[in-house]
Amino acid sequence: MKIVVLTGAGVSAESGLGTFRDKDGLWTKYDLSEVATPEGFARNPAKVHAFYNARRANAARAAPNAAHAALARLQLEHSGEVVIVTQNVDDLHERAGAKAIHMHGALKRAKCAACGARWAAPLVMSPGDPCASCEAQATRPDIVWFGEMPEHMDEILSHLQTADLFAAIGTSGQVYPAAGFVAEASEAGAATLEINLEPSDVTGLFDRRILGPASEVVPQWVEDVISGSK
Ligand code: OAD
């Protein structure tokens, strides 16, 4: 049985990293159009760098929680393929020992807006940083902003086409294309499962749901999958 898992900010919430749309979420404190769009970056790169510098520092201080650990276990112990696609820009899946496809980029990477080169981001980035390759002062976080194309979409869509089970964990279902993955997987014949603190915006599209904090319900679900497939 091939399992495709989509994760969102809810998976990292119990590691102390803020979600976006919950009460107290990042988008209640920051204007998304100022810090998460190419236009916002063109207007005020220092402000955008400050936002991501703070998030990079928080992510570096955070540790993976039991949900990240359980997903790494699933990838290791499940008898079939397990593909983890994440909208998260932290590296907590990797630090728990999992391999994940990052569709919204990574805090740990920098990118040149002029030539497209990518390299490991320093903890603190600033608008004057030169590109490691062409030296243009056009360094930006390697994050997919609103209005930009998410990464690895061909690879992700092909995994959704061949999934037997699609599970979305800790995501509000408000941001496309990720919010459309449940429909893609379902049309291709996969069973679908939502795991979230509360029903998401697209909850009606899933065959079944498990509600609760990810650090509690994901390990239990993983245990059930692994013991059921043995
Ligand atoms: P959201 O903040 O939109 O949604 C987080 C979801 O996690 C909500 O449905 C919460 O109910 C749920 N949640 C919160 N705590 C949880 C917990 N402990 N256990 C389980 N679920 C929990 O975050 P995303 O859906 O990831 O994009 O947001 C998608 C994208 O929007 C992000 O990748 C980001 C953002 O703007 C970019 O920055 C491009």
List residues near ligand 1 (CB under 6 A): 8-10, 13-14, 19-22, 25, 36, 87, 104, 144-145, 170-172, 174-175, 196-198, 200, 213-214
Interval between CA 172 and ligand 1 midpoint (Å): 5
The encoded tokens of residue 69 equal 């650990």
Q: What is the mean pLDDT of the chain?
A: 96
User: Tokens 């570096």 sit at which residue?
Assistant: 60
Nearest-atom index, ligand 1, CA of 104: 39
Which position among 93, 104, 152, 159 bears the catalytic label? 104
For residues 131 and 113, the answer to whether their CB atoms sit within 8 Å is: no
Nearest-angstrom CA–CA distance, 204 and 202: 6
pLDDT in tens, 95-143: 999 999 999 999 999 999 999 999 999 999 998 899 989 999 989 999 9
Residue 175 phi/psi, 5-degree rounding, is -115, 120
Residue 132 pLDDT: 83
Residue 23 pLDDT: 86
Taking CA atoms only, the protein residue closest to ligand 1 atom 26 is 8
Q: Mean pLDDT, to the nearest integer, of 39-43?
A: 95
Nearest-atom index, ligand 1, CA of 20: 2
The encoded tokens of residue 68 equal 């990240």
Residue 228 pLDDT: 86
Relative orientation angle of helices 214-229 and 66-77, to the nearest 10 degrees:
10
Specify whether 104 is catalytic: yes
Q: Residue 230 — pLDDT band, cuts 50, 70, 90?
A: low
